[in-house]
Amino acid sequence: MQIYEGKSVFGGIAMGKICVYKKNEKQVKRQKIEDEEAEVTRYQEAREKAMQQLQGLYDKALLEVGEANAAIFEVHQMMLEDDDYNESVENIIRTEHVNAEYAVATTGDNFSEMFAAMDDDYMRARAADVKDISERVLGILSGVSDADLASDEPVIIVADDLAPSETVQMDKSKVLSFVTVHGSLNSHTAILARTMSIPALVGTNLAADETVDGKFAVVDGAAGKIYVEPDEATMELLEKKQQEFLEQKELLETLKGKENVTLDGKQMLLYANIGNSKDLATVIQNDAGGIGLFRSEFIYLERDHYPTEEEQFLIYKQVAQTLAGKRVIIRTLDIGADKQCDYFEMEKEENPAMGCRAIRICLTRPEIFKTQLRALFRASAFGKIAIMYPMIVSVEEVRKIKAIVAEVKAELDAQGIEYGEVEQGIMIETPAAVMISDLLAEEVDFFSIGTNDLTQYTLAIDRQNTKLDEFYDPHHPAVLRMIRMVVENAHKKGIWVGICGDLGADLELTQEFLKMGVDELSVSPGRILPLRKIIRETNVGQL
Ligand code: PEP
Ligand code: MG
């Protein structure tokens, strides 16, 4: 047995034979030609045909993976229409008196090197796209079509790298999994693989050659591993894992794409809670309508230094882009209490849960807060980002936050940096916020109830202390009454309200929340479909 590791693009277990995917080598020779104008025309005709193929791929991707992910083929069309690209090809043909193949290959290399050298991650990833369009035109010019899968049975595709067009063109019924040696988690191929719900790994430390070709293997997408010729004991474990995964998938298949609507037509938004951009795969796999809580403090906890604006921006941008226009609610850092970060150099406190945490740190150390806000607003140009502030106890805090946000926006305006419309909400997780929720509702766009902290502060029970479990009643009427009060106050002021604490995933309370009129539940991704099932089986009017 050999075990190779890669970066997980999408979870799930795939078992089957490996098929190493080799691109058809398009050998490009430099040839002198006599009639440059005829060669330019030959190029233009090939380019026109490539445009038509890309339109076909766009239409196919639109059906299979949705508009946002199909957009890559529109980008490819735009690249092929780019004046600089076309002038470069035609110029090489005319001035060097060479064949169109050579001119396209040279232009493709030059442009992709130029993109690869750029500072911006997104632009760097476009190097692969320029190569992809150049390969397409070359294929048409030389009459060599793209490689096909050399297998009739479903296989695990192992490749050095895969261009987005190669991924989309493959017959999905024959693909169990993608495993590539190169490729980034940000690449469109990775995004496509996630959207297709195919277990996939990139950056895997194996060789895409005869050492693995044709061998039986198991891909554990979530663990980022591929087992080639696994032994019996490993196989047993993996089969069990696959069984669990399949049961979950079965539920998913029947409910995926369906609305979260009750029998009498009441809608509920079902969003996902994440702590990390690595969780995105399961968000999409479980058909979340958006992200209702991104616990951004994990970005701080994973490092031994304050994350820079750029580091944060790239993470938020990736999340926004992957969610492709769906709402992404990012909570500003909630350090303190059980989440301690050494480099914040906080003084030791007698009672950290009631100490300097969350928004209290942000308001006393605005330079840290502003760095995060700048990153968030910048990322809002790439998707539908909303910001949510934790541990609020007063209207004054919200006004202070708004003043800081106004400063950040003014700075971005002065620098000519774009940002989108950003909804701003607060977490309701202290009894104080509940009691003044009518006043707070006038200040913000939405509420999200953090029942984990709300329960601990209402019942005066430390959520970390397992010895108090017998006293801890998550269904305590005090908490449920508070939720009802918050929903009523929010609706009176015309704002929406969700629950992002663990209680939101409690299936025993789903009907109660529907009755109260809760607009959104944000839960760990795996809980979305079980919730959808209950919602669709409920008639609120008859409760
Ligand atoms: C909550 O308190 O319910 C919540 C969602 O925030 P966290 O669990 O991160 O404190
Ligand atoms: Mg909380």
CA-390 nearest atom, ligand 1: 6
Which residues touch 403 (CB under 8 Å, ≥6 apart)? Answer: none
Check: CB of residue 193 under 8 Å from CB of residue 170: no
Find out if CATH 3.20.20.60 is the number for domain 266-542: yes
Instruction: Say yes or no: CB of residue 501 within 6 Å of ligand 1.
Output: yes
- pLDDT value at position 22? 80
- Compute φ and ψ for 306, nearest 5 degrees: -65, 125
Ligand located closest to 449 CA: 1
- pLDDT value at position 474? 85
Instruction: Say yes or no: CB of residue 500 within 6 Å of ligand 1.
Output: yes
Instruction: Say yes or no: CB of residue 443 within 6 Å of ligand 1.
Output: no
Instruction: Say yes or no: CB of residue 452 within 6 Å of ligand 1.
Output: yes
Q: Determine the Cα–Cα distance for residues 238 and 1; give it in Å rounded to an integer.
A: 14
Q: Active-site residue among 19, 341, 362, 500?
A: 500
H or E segment to which residue 216 belongs:
strand 216-220
- pLDDT value at position 46? 95
pLDDT category, 228, cuts 50, 70, 90?
very high
- pLDDT value at position 147? 56
Q: What is the DSSP letter of 256?
A: T
Instruction: Say yes or no: CB of residue 297 within 6 Å of ligand 1.
Output: no
The yes-or-no verdict on residue 249 having pLDDT over 80 is: no
Check: CB of residue 172 under 8 Å from CB of residue 64: yes
When pLDDT is averaged across residues 289-301 and rounded to a whole number, the result is: 94
pLDDT category, 510, cuts 50, 70, 90?
very high
Measured in angstroms, how far is the CA atom of residue 346 from the centroid of ligand 2? 19
Instruction: State what percent of residues in the chain have pLDDT above 90.
Output: 66
Q: What's the token pair of residue 241?
A: 């894992």
The yes-or-no verdict on residue 191 having pLDDT over 80 is: no
Choice among 278-287, 300-309, 324-333 with the minimum mean pLDDT: 278-287
- pLDDT value at position 114? 87
When pLDDT is averaged across residues 348-355 and rounded to a whole number, the result is: 90
Q: What's the token pair of residue 142?
A: 């030389």
Q: Determine the Cα–Cα distance for residues 84 and 87; give it in Å rounded to an integer.
A: 5
pLDDT category, 189, cuts 50, 70, 90?
low
Choice among 179-188, 195-204, 238-247, 251-260 with the minimum mean pLDDT: 179-188
Q: What is the architecture, at CATH level 2, of domain 2-20+148-251?
A: 3-Layer(bba) Sandwich (3.50)
Instruction: State what percent of residues in the chain have pLDDT above 70.
Output: 96
Instruction: Say yes or no: CB of residue 450 within 6 Å of ligand 1.
Output: yes
The yes-or-no verdict on residue 252 having pLDDT over 80 is: no
Instruction: Say yes or no: CB of residue 357 within 6 Å of ligand 1.
Output: no
H or E segment to which residue 424 belongs:
strand 423-428
pLDDT tens sequence across 28-39: 889 999 999 999
- pLDDT value at position 148? 57
When pLDDT is averaged across residues 233-257 and rounded to a whole number, the result is: 87
When pLDDT is averaged across residues 325-342 and rounded to a whole number, the result is: 91
Q: Active-site residue among 19, 76, 188, 362?
A: 188
Q: Which residues pair with 8 in a beta bridge?
A: 201
Measured in angstroms, how far is the CA atom of residue 453 from the centroid of ligand 1? 6
Q: What is the pTM of this model?
A: 0.63
> What is the CB neighbour count within 10 angstroms for residue 91?
13
Q: Which residues pair with 496 in a beta bridge?
A: 446
Query: What are the residue boundaries of the structural domains of the chain, listed by start?
Result: 2-20+148-251, 36-142, 266-542
- For ligand 1, atom 6: residue with the closest CA: 450
Check: CB of residue 115 under 8 Å from CB of residue 127: yes
CATH superfamily of 36-142: PtsI, HPr-binding domain (1.10.274.10)
**Which of 52-66, 99-113, 436-450, 526-540 shows the highest mean pLDDT?**
436-450
Measured in angstroms, how far is the CA atom of residue 304 from the centroid of ligand 2? 23
Q: Determine the Cα–Cα distance for residues 183 and 202; give it in Å rounded to an integer.
A: 6
- pLDDT value at position 149? 59
- pLDDT value at position 97? 94
Beta strands in 429-539 (DSSP E): 446-449, 496-499, 520-523
Choice among 102-111, 249-258, 287-296, 438-447 with the minimum mean pLDDT: 249-258
**What angle, 0 to 180 degrees and rounded to 10, lies between the N-to-C axes of helices 67-80 and 36-65?**
170
CA-429 nearest atom, ligand 1: 2
Q: What is the DSSP letter of 501?
A: S
H or E segment to which residue 459 belongs:
helix 451-459
- For ligand 1, atom 1: residue with the closest CA: 450
Give 281 or 266, the one with higher predicted confidence.
Answer: 266
Check: CB of residue 269 under 8 Å from CB of residue 520: yes
- pLDDT value at position 276? 82
Q: What's the token pair of residue 46?
A: 């090939």
- Which of 273, 291, 295, when mutated, tests ligand 1's pocket best, judged by the most ligand atoms within 8 Å of its CB? 295
Measured in angstroms, how far is the CA atom of residue 312 from the centroid of ligand 2? 21
Instruction: Say yes or no: CB of residue 331 within 6 Å of ligand 1.
Output: no
pLDDT category, 337, cuts 50, 70, 90?
confident
Ligand located closest to 273 CA: 1
- pLDDT value at position 468? 84
- For ligand 1, atom 9: residue with the closest CA: 295
Give 471 or 25, the one with higher predicted confidence.
Answer: 471
Check: CB of residue 340 under 8 Å from CB of residue 346: yes
Q: Sign of the CA dihedral 483, 488, 489, 493?
A: positive
Measured in angstroms, how far is the CA atom of residue 280 from the centroid of ligand 1? 19
Instruction: Say yes or no: CB of residue 429 within 6 Å of ligand 1.
Output: yes
- Do β-strands 13-20 and 291-295 pair in parallel, antiparallel, or remain unpaired? unpaired
> For the chain, what is the mean pLDDT?
90
Active site residue 188: yes
SS3 of 343-382: the string is HHCCCCCCCHHHCCCCHHHHHHCHHHHHHHHHHHHHHHHH
Q: What's the token pair of residue 480?
A: 């449920």
pLDDT tens sequence across 154-183: 999 999 888 777 777 777 778 899 999 987
pLDDT tens sequence across 375-422: 999 999 999 999 999 999 999 999 999 999 999 999 999 999 999 999
Check: CB of residue 300 under 8 Å from CB of residue 267: no
Active site residue 500: yes
pLDDT tens sequence across 3-15: 999 988 888 899 9
pLDDT category, 273, cuts 50, 70, 90?
very high
